[in-house]
Amino acid sequence: MNPNQKLTLSADVLRALHSSTKSATRIALDDLCTLLGVDATPAREGVRPRALRREDVREIVRRLDEEGFVDAARMRLTLQGFALAASLTSRRLMPLSLVGAA
């Protein structure tokens, strides 16, 4: 994977874990791979088609764990990971000036 693909996959992993946090469900690595569209077809003659692999997702989760954004043992976002994932979603945040006025 090139660095751009790794960044894109990292953002997708953070978004998927953020949506599972909002729905209060635990997500396993296999579920995460399914959500991200990992091709689970077995290799024929030792060759797999060029697509997202489970190993790629596992590597990204490991690296996000090392950087402190994901708790890989529990497959949960840390506080820093939650903040980063929330900033990656399309939902707009309410300005603090409006929050204080209410």
Q: How far is CA 101 from CA 76, 85, 96, in A?
A: 34, 27, 9
In DSSP terms, which residues pair with 47 in a beta bridge?
A: 44
At 72-91, the pLDDT tens digits run 999 999 999 999 998 887 76
**Spatial separation of the C-alpha atoms in residues 2 and 82, rounded to whole Å:** 25
- CATH T-level topology, domain 3-101: Arc Repressor Mutant, subunit A (1.10.10)
- Domain boundaries in the chain? 3-101
The pTM for the full model equals 0.79
At 11-32, the pLDDT tens digits run 999 999 998 887 788 889 999 9
